[in-house]
A and B are shown apart, each in its own frame.
Chain A
């Protein structure tokens, strides 16, 4: 149904202003050139089209929209390709796509047959207001699109023209370029000629420059020659060889000395530029080249070089230095100094006597020959060894390399001494070994002269070992002292054989009471230390035979006279051939006392434990009994045999491993207990014990063993078990009973029953058969044995096998062993391995409806639990019966429902038919009625003058009759709609509604001067707005109608709020009616007044009543004839 409230009833409304705006837009569009501007213009111009609340215009990719403050998103209906694709842009503008709300939007495309240029989008808030303008808007859109297209075409045309022009221009440019190129070539030729001329001039200048340069060079050379002769003078007047090479070993310069030496040595005349390396022999080359190379790489090299020239050995000290020029090494300069003489002296020294040499080499004492400055000339291997180096390495060292600084002063003194006396040492110092250790050594030395040169001879002795031995001795002495002095017992060192005390330790006095001085020189007999002199003799003889005695118990006479208990130990030792006795005495008096005390306590404890009425046993770490109470012995039937000292496991070999594990744990420190534990005895009996085991601790805290408290609770347990079982049974019954009563489905009852049954008998197998005449159908089976399949159960009949017999006899049957029971006729149970069986019939009153079978693979005594099992059976029975009854009930209910549905459907169909009938009747009736009305009006208007009085009267009657007929049809339609249409429940504002209705009748009210009073509660009521509106309209119309003859007509509309309802009344002071007719006034077509006086259809109040009924309210009325009428409504809130 379209929303009728906002659409005028008849002619479609077009606001000329709006049409004018559209028109303006359409004409003005031509004038605006660019699309953006057009979009803006359109958007602004279409801002306030009726029925819309939002406008957006899109042209190409430019979007413009007016936003009236809505923050909602706008959605586009079934889009054109362009709109759809360019949603992204719309999104940026705050508009996005959502399929659901498409109906809210009206989109016109700006499109021609060629292309879509954009769209105009409106958000509808009242489609019917917008609809009349749609054609005009679409027309506008077409115009815009065409305009845009024309412009586009124009643009492309212009572009083409521009292209053409551009290519023309291009061509011209090209031509120009060509001509330009030729001209350029010409110019180039001219330029090159000028170049040639320039070059000629340049070469002239060059020759002039060359000549002046030659002059300069001459002068430089002269200067050079002068400096050269200076240099020569410098280097030639010396007794050393000086020469320099370049980087290729070519001789740059050398002095005369070098030249002469070279000539003498190699018979080579040196020339500048000669390669000095090349002329050497291979060995020499190998020697010299690396040294030159080192210098060439930047090192300053110095070394000694020995050479035999004409049979004579010469020695030189050679120095090589790199020559730097501008930071680069350009050669090597060399200096060689003759050190032959010095070397010779050294040599002589070294080779004077081979013998001496040998001595020198093989001397175990380190010998060194050094110069006065301390540098070594020669060392022997022994010396080198002291330093941990080779001879060669040693020779390279200097004095201070091997001497720690702390000896500096001593050294200085020694040196002084040496210089004065010519001798130094012997003194001791340390040398620094190659690996850094300090080696103690003993030195002495003297100066001697050889060939005029002074040298120092030194002998160096490694005194490491001696030192070590000394230290060791001191160490052990100290150790021994320490031990001796601090030994806990009293220690005596006495000489043998007299036994006289040589030394005593610190504790001697404390323990014996005698001081060191008193004891020294005396033996123990002298001091009367032994309480028992025989003991002494015994001790000493033992000592003789064994050489040592350990922990000999003896008593000591303390000096004070007290007797001390102790342990004596003695050992004979030999020191440097002499025999001594070392003896110790430990005072154990206290300990002994403690032991005695302990023993006594133990006795008491033992007595206590043995006699305690509880069962206690105490074990040591090996689970041997230390003590056990008598009760314990009786509890465990251990009887008389002594257990003390014997292992627990030996006494009760049947103890399971589990308990041994527990014992182990407790021995490790755990405390364990159990309230009840099965303990199978060797006799086969099963006892139950309650026990607690905890470790006990020695004095020092370590675990000495465990204590076991226990109690045999077998009897008590039996009783408990029985109780528990009874309880379980009751619970099972309870659960089953509850379950069964909860469930009404047969399947559930059956499955619950077998489950519970099975669970109740420790998950044995349970079957449930229901009787069907003479057959017994298996409906449920629960088995802990998964392999047992339902399908294997054969058909059972009443009277057959145990189950069948139970049914036919009507009483429960138990079989402890079906193999031996004749009643069991089916092989399947036996085959499945069942041994014991129970069959319980399910009895309801006189009838047996089935049977429950219980089977176990063991020989169980089901009969012992007959009470329980039979109770379960009866519960199952009632459950099954209930389920069956319930199924019946359900079936009936379903049937009823189906019937109701059928009826309702029939009614609905009838209703629809009726509605269609009413509708089409009224529709079709209206058409001819219209004809009658219209033509009669035409007659009246156009041809009235051709009728006489009578004729005009007839016409009037025709018109009034047709008018009446129209009212009737309308009212009938309204009434019939009340039946079928849906009444909604909405909040309706009474005041607004009533005021609206009054406004509709405003003219009449004004004309007749009717006094209207409205007093309604402000709260809204819940009703169908149209329905309530119709009701009130009818009542108001009636009120107005029936006050037509009253001088001062007044209509009062009021309301009062109550808890659940709202009372409304419409009161008039019109003609009223007789309450005798009250029951009929709500009937259809029932009228109480004549048609002439008060025209009406007689349906109004019927409509009111029906509408109120449909809304769940009430209507009634009261009246006093001549005074007026009041109609009341009760509307729910």
Chain B
């Protein structure tokens, strides 16, 4: 890449990520998505992070298989790579409580560090939102809260959204609350990112 300043189109300097990374990954091809995620996990593992993969339609078996294809012996890394189903993760009591979810993840992150890992990488497939009765505004609220949560317990979190299922306006909203995004396999700074408080103000104004 060219040597250009840090707030340019693509940048991923270390400085940014050590404060926690909230990335959104918008995909429309399952195969490509699997490969990308597999790469992401592999990199994370190679840097000594624990991986938490919250699955929905992609089964743990598939993802492990893919990682294996990349040449990593995933079975040997039991503790390093953990999969969880989305019900347990997001709606443990049947209800979605953003704060408790984030708290849990925070705890998990701290635990990882306590266990000797350099950090936690979390990925969540957000398809379940469409099946639930969660309103869009609630979802946005959750995502904005992630930002604050990151400040307390930094980790790397990827929210995966299937572009085929979510509508255009919602995708734009989602973009607006993720400081980073994954495009073409690269993580770049998201030019559409708006600070949570500004976003919520605009969002509510638009709703009315």
A positions within 8 Å CB-CB of B: 16-21, 23-24, 27-28, 30-33, 36-42, 44-45
B14-65 residues with Cβ-Cβ distance < 8 A to A are: 26-28
> Given A27-B184, A33-B28, is A16 in contact with B7 using a C-beta cutoff of 8 Å?
yes
With A24-B191, A27-B184, A45-B192 as known contacts, state yes or no: A32 contacts B168, CB within 8 Å: yes
Contact between A44 and B163 (Cβ–Cβ < 8 Å)? no
Are A32 and B183 touching (Cβ within 8 A)? no
Q: Is B181 in contact with chain A by the CB < 8 A criterion? A: yes
Contact indicator A31/B168 (Cβ below 8 Å): no
List B residues 178-192 near A (Cβ within 8 Å): 181, 183-184, 188-192
Q: How far is the CA of A27 from the CA of B189 in the complex (A)?
A: 14
Question: Of B27, B172, B184, which is within 8 A of A41 by CB?
Answer: B172
Contact between B168 and A30 (Cβ–Cβ < 8 Å)? no
Contact of B77 with A by CB under 8 A: no
CB-CB under 8 A from A44, the residues of chain B are 168-169, 172
Q: Take A16-B8, A21-B191, A28-B163 as given contacts and tell me if A39 and B183 are in contact as well, using a CB distance cutoff of 8 Å.
A: no
Smallest CB separation, B101 vs chain A (Å): 26
Q: Which residues of B contact A30 (CB under 8 A)?
A: 28
Interface residues of B in 151-205 (CB under 8 A from A): 163-164, 167-169, 171-172, 175, 181, 183-184, 188-192
* Any A CB within 8 A of the CB of B1: no
Most buried by B among A16, A18, A39: A16
Say yes or no: is B9 at the interface (Cβ < 8 Å to chain A): yes
Q: Is the pair B9, A16 in contact by a Cβ cutoff of 8 Å? A: yes
User: Cβ of B8: which chain A residues have Cβ within 8 Å of it?
Assistant: 16, 20
28 A–B contacts from the bound complex (CB under 8 Å): A16-B7, A16-B8, A18-B191, A20-B8, A20-B9, A20-B189, A21-B191, A23-B9, A24-B175, A24-B181, A27-B184, A28-B26, A28-B171, A31-B26, A31-B164, A32-B28, A32-B163, A33-B164, A36-B168, A37-B169, A37-B171, A38-B168, A39-B168, A40-B167, A40-B168, A40-B169, A41-B172, A45-B192
Instruction: Report the bound CA distance from A41 to B170 in whole Å.
Output: 8
Question: Which residues of B line the A interface, CB within 8 A?
Answer: 7-9, 26-28, 163-164, 167-169, 171-172, 175, 181, 183-184, 188-192
B195 to chain A, nearest CB (A): 14
CB of B11 to closest CB in A, whole Å = 10
Give chain A nearest CB distance to B175 CB in angstroms: 7
How many Å from the CB of A140 to the closest CB on chain B? 14
A175 CB, nearest partner CB in chain B, Å? 38
Q: How far is the CA of A972 from the CA of B183 in the complex (A)?
A: 55
Say yes or no: B27 contacts A31, CB within 8 Å. Answer: yes
In the complex, are the beta carbons of A41 and B191 less than 8 A apart? no
B52 to chain A, nearest CB (A): 25
> Which residues of B have CB within 8 Å of A23?
9, 191
Give the distance in Å from the alpha carbon of A813 to the alpha carbon of B172 in the complex: 108
Which residues on A sit within 8 Å (CB–CB) of B189?
20
| Interface of chain A, main secondary structure | helix
Residues of B contacting A18 in the complex (Cβ-Cβ under 8 angstroms): 191
Contact: B7 with A33, CB < 8 Å? Answer: no
User: Among A16, A19, A36, A40, which residue has its beta carbon within 8 angstroms of that of B172?
Assistant: A40
Measured CB to CB, the nearest residue on chain B to A30 is B28
Residues of B within 8 A of A45 (CB): 172, 192
CA distance A20 to B188 in the complex (A): 10
What distance in Å separates the Cβ of B187 from its nearest Cβ neighbour in chain A? Answer: 13
Give complex CA distance A42, B9 in Å. 19
Instruction: Return the chain A residue nearest B4 by Cβ.
Output: A16
Task: Find out whether the CB atom of A37 lies under 8 angstroms from the CB atom of B167.
Answer: yes
Bound-state CA distance A24–B190 (Å) is 8
- In the complex, how many angstroms separate the beta carbon of B162 from the nearest chain A beta carbon? 9
CB neighbours of B175 from chain A (8 A)? 24, 28
* CA gap between A39 and B172 in the complex, in Å: 11
- Cβ of A31: which chain B residues have Cβ within 8 Å of it? 26-28, 163-164
Known contacts A31-B26, A31-B163, A32-B163: does B168 contact A37 (CB below 8 Å)? yes
A24, B183: Cβ atoms closer than 8 Å: yes
Contacts of B163 in A (CB 8 A): 28, 31-33
18 more A-B contacts (CB under 8 A) besides A21-B191, A28-B171? A16-B9, A17-B7, A20-B8, A20-B9, A20-B191, A24-B191, A24-B192, A27-B184, A28-B183, A30-B28, A32-B163, A32-B168, A33-B163, A37-B171, A40-B167, A40-B169, A40-B172, A41-B171
Residues of A near B7 (CB, < 8 A) are 16-17
Provide the residues of chain A in CB contact with B191, threshold 8 Å: 17-18, 20-21, 23-24
**Chain B residues closer than 8 Å to A17, beta-carbon distance:** 7, 191
Distance of A805 Cα from B167 Cα, bound (Å): 110
A57 to B158, CA, bound (A): 30
For residue B1, give the distance in angstroms from its CB to the closest CB of chain A.
14
Alpha-carbon distance A23/B163, docked complex (angstroms): 17
CA distance A81 to B172 in the complex (A): 30
A21 and B168 within 8 A (CB): no
Distance A23 CA – B10 CA, assembled complex (angstroms)? 11
In the complex, chain B residues whose CB is within 8 Å of the CB of A41: 168-169, 171-172
Q: Are A32 and B171 touching (Cβ within 8 A)? A: yes
A39: chain B residues within 8 A (beta carbon): 168
* Closest residue on chain B to residue A16 by CB atoms: B8
CA distance A42 to B175 in the complex (A): 12
In the complex, the chain B residue whose C-beta lies closest to that of A37 is: B168
Question: Contact: B9 with A19, CB < 8 Å?
Answer: yes
Separation of A45 and B7 alpha carbons in the complex (Å): 19
A38: B residues at CB distance < 8 A: 168
How far does the alpha carbon of A390 sit from the alpha carbon of B189 in the complex, in Å?
Answer: 129
Identify the closest chain B residue to A35 (Cβ).
B168
Hey, which chain A residues are within 8 Å of B183, CB to CB? 24, 27-28
Q: Which 9 A-B pairs have the closest CB atoms?
A: A41-B168, A31-B163, A37-B168, A20-B191, A40-B168, A31-B28, A44-B172, A40-B169, A21-B191
In the bound complex, CA of A27 to CA of B8 (Å): 17
Provide the bound-state CA to CA distance between A18 and B171, in Å.
18
Q: What is the CA–CA distance of A38 and B169 in the complex, to the nearest angstrom?
A: 9
- In Å, the complex CA distance between A960 and B163 comes to 63
Q: Please indicate the chain A residues that have their CB under 8 angstroms from the CB of B28 in the complex.
A: 30-33
Name, among B164, B168, B189, the residue most crowded by chain A CB atoms within 10 Å (CB to CB): B168
For B169, the closest partner residue in chain A by CB is A40
Q: Which residues of chain B are near A33, meaning CB under 8 Å?
A: 28, 163-164
| Minimum Cβ distance to chain B for residue A407 (Å) | 101
Nearest residue, chain A, Cβ from B165 = A33
